[in-house]
Copies of this chain bind each other. A is one copy, B any other.
Amino acid sequence: MSAGSPTASVTSTPLPEVFRRIGPQMVALDRFMQEQVTSFEPEIRSMAAYCLESSGKRLRPTLVFISGWRGEGVVNDALVRASGVVEMVHLATLVHDDIMDRADLRRNRHTAAREFGPDAAVLLGDALFSQALHVASQFPTTEVCRVVSESTRKVCSGEIMQTLHRRDLTVSREDYWRMIDLKTAELFRVACFLGARLSGFSPEFVQAANDFGRHLGIAYQIYDDLVDFLGEEKSIGKTLGTDLASGKLTLPLMLLLERLSAPERAGLIEALRGGKPLPLTASVERMRALGIADGVALAVDEELARARAVLAPHAALDPVPLMLQLAEMLKSQLSGLYSGAAKP
């Protein structure tokens, strides 16, 4: 899933305060994830450990912690477990995504599919899903299980839609929004919901956190699709994104299709339809001239504005400054990406 591609290296922005402040929570989460390994059957423990030890960004746990923020040094065990549940679901989706994308590497090491073979990886992802739900079932009420299982189903639905619509040029903006809402924003939303809810905030703030998570998730996915589109070397003529290679219709590609000259457009469509190598030799300069990143930035900004707006009535609450910081961080990353793109 593009939502999990490594993007940390893209930005040169210093790590925002928010990550320093949730340090103790992240330490507790790391311990929790290590403990989870022993819950798996001995025969598959090392495989489970391989997946859980992943040194990802832990973005979803961050959302749980900041949405449930009750002040410096307060480490709430329920938040740690909830963040572990959400992260395990996310890691399970990555294991399955990497099978479908035939990806060999993630975060500079072999994917589970490459390490253990695609068949074992299908089952390993299933086992991670199951364990996530098992932890969810250890809360006093069924609520965590209920929201996480529903959310997981939605994430899968979004991914199915994207898979079925590969190389489908009839995908509309609305379809794209719907897909990323399900496949990415859904888990961001649940992370924020659970953080606020398990910390005992008012129903109004729980709802606001929920909506914040959703808008942030949409913004994040659009941003992530641009990262993939521009490719690691930030040179579209050289390294085309994996999404592009697999024919996933994303916002940057939609913009490109709209803005290319007629012959270029026809060539791109033909290549997309036929599964051929894409005929793009355009440089980053050309992407700039076509305003692709500008168009994406506009869409991201709009979602971030919505995310900020839902928090406005709750500005006095402890979590809000941290949540706004995270939104700001995404905006800076986007600017960094774009200004980076300006200097090939």
Shortest Cβ distance from residue A74 to the other chain B in the assembled complex, whole angstroms: 25
Cα distance, A93 to B122, chains bound together (Å) = 10
Question: Which residue of the partner chain, among B41, B119, B133, B138, contacts A157 with CB atoms under 8 Å?
Answer: B41
Cα distance, A124 to B157, chains bound together (Å) = 8
A182 at the B interface (CB under 8 A): yes
Shortest Cβ distance from residue A181 to the other chain B in the assembled complex, whole angstroms: 11
Q: Among residues 122 to 165 in chain A, which have CB atoms less than 8 Å away from a CB atom of chain B?
A: 122-127, 129-131, 133-134, 136-142, 145-146, 149-150, 152-154, 156-157, 159-161, 163-164
A40 at the B interface (CB under 8 A): yes
Is B142 touching A43 in the complex (CB atoms < 8 A)?
no
Q: How many copies, total?
A: 2
A96 at the B interface (CB under 8 A): yes
A100 at the B interface (CB under 8 A): yes
Question: Which residue of the partner chain, among B40, B100, B136, B150, contacts A122 with CB atoms under 8 Å?
Answer: B100
Is B123 touching A156 in the complex (CB atoms < 8 A)?
yes
B-chain residues with CB within 8 Å of residue A139 when the two chains form the complex:
142
Question: Which residue of the partner chain, among B41, B149, B161, contacts A182 with CB atoms under 8 Å?
Answer: B41
Shortest Cβ distance from residue A193 to the other chain B in the assembled complex, whole angstroms: 15
1/0 contact trace for A70-102 toward B, CB 8 Å?
Answer: 000000000000000000000011001001100
Is B130 touching A137 in the complex (CB atoms < 8 A)?
no
A120 at the B interface (CB under 8 A): yes
A47 at the B interface (CB under 8 A): yes
Is B142 touching A119 in the complex (CB atoms < 8 A)?
no
Question: Which residue of the partner chain, among B127, B152, B178, contacts A156 with CB atoms under 8 Å?
Answer: B127
Q: Which bracket fits the contact residues of A? A: 35 or more
Chain B, Cβ-Cβ closest to A117? B163
Is B130 touching A152 in the complex (CB atoms < 8 A)?
yes
Chain B, Cβ-Cβ closest to A41? B157
Cα distance, A130 to B146, chains bound together (Å) = 10
Of A93, A117, A153, most B-chain CB atoms within 10 Å: A153
Chain B, Cβ-Cβ closest to A146? B137
B-chain residues with CB within 8 Å of residue A145 when the two chains form the complex:
133, 136-137, 142, 145, 149
Cα distance, A127 to B125, chains bound together (Å) = 13
Shortest Cβ distance from residue A47 to the other chain B in the assembled complex, whole angstroms: 7
A44 at the B interface (CB under 8 A): yes
Is B130 touching A156 in the complex (CB atoms < 8 A)?
yes
Is A160 touching B129 in the complex (CB atoms < 8 A)?
no
Those 6 A-B pairs whose CB atoms lie nearest each other, nearest first: A130-B153, A137-B145, A41-B157, A134-B149, A127-B156, A133-B149
- 21 CB-based A-B contacts, threshold 8 Å: A39-B153, A40-B153, A43-B160, A43-B161, A44-B160, A99-B119, A100-B122, A100-B123, A117-B163, A120-B160, A126-B126, A127-B157, A129-B152, A130-B150, A130-B153, A131-B149, A133-B149, A134-B150, A140-B142, A141-B142, A145-B149
